[in-house]
Amino acid sequence: MSMRIVIAKPGLDGHDRGAKVIARALRDAGHEVIYTGLRRKPSEIVRVVMDEDAVAVGLSTLSGAHNVLIPKVCEELISNGMGDVIVFAGGIIPESDRDYLYSLGVRAIFGPGTKTSSIIDFLEIISERKNSQLDVGVGEKIGWRWS
């Protein structure tokens, strides 16, 4: 159940402590984590996911640009034939913005203060869903999401 996961920081904010904490926690749970570093463009993130043949991508954003950047990543994944990739998000994303992101295929949003164990549980479940061929990718049928 070990997966290859990209942890990416879109947007202009220069803080990646949160993203690094998550990356380490996922490693300690047995996953292979590819960390992109700060300030990556959506197109670059999609490129990394493609080259690394990652199963999932976690987008961490604090900058308030989530309503532009996260949709862009989702769109570009789908238009590049990577609708099976699982997208989740973390950082500061107001409650009122979340339904829109879910409607684009984002399967989980983890707010500040989330325990890393929740993210690990989420990954466990998406891996099971994938194995049972249930919809979970960004381009697959919307409906199920982590809550």
Partner 1 sequence: MEMVLSHDNNIALAKQGNRRELAKLLTIIESGERLPIKESNESWVLGVTGPPGVGKSTLIGVMIDEWVRRGEKVAVLAIDPSSPKSGGALLGDRMRMSSADNGESVFIRSLATRNHPGGLMPFLDSMINLLSYCGWTKIIIETVGSGQSEIRIVAFANRIMLVDGPDRGDIIQAEKAGIIELADIIVINKSDLPNSDAAAISIKKSLEYSNKGNDTIVMLTSSINNTGVSELIEELDNLHVDKDRSILRTKERLLSAWDYRLLSNPSLNDILLNLESGAINLDEALNHL
Binding site for partner 1 (CB under 8 A): 2, 23-24, 26-37, 40, 43-44, 47-48, 50-53, 80-82
Cα dist. 129→24, 76, 136, 137, 140 in Å? Answer: 24, 23, 7, 10, 12
Shortest CB 74 distance to partner 1, Å: 17
Nearest distance in Å: CB 145, partner 1? 25
Closer of 35 and 122 to partner 1 (Cβ): 35
The residues near 87 (Cβ < 8 Å, ≥ 6 apart) are 56, 57, 59, 70, 73, 74, 77, 105, 106, 107, 138
Q: Based on CB atoms, which residue is closest to partner 1, 41 or 129?
A: 41
Nearest distance from residue 78's CB to partner 1, in Å? 13
Which one, 37 or 94, has the nearer CB to partner 1?
Answer: 37
- Of 5 and 109, CB closest to partner 1: 5
CB 124 within 8 Å of CB 144: no
Tell me the closest approach of the beta carbon of residue 83 to partner 1, in angstroms: 12
Q: How many residues does the chain have?
A: 147
How many Cβ atoms are within 10 Å of 119's Cβ, its own excluded?
21
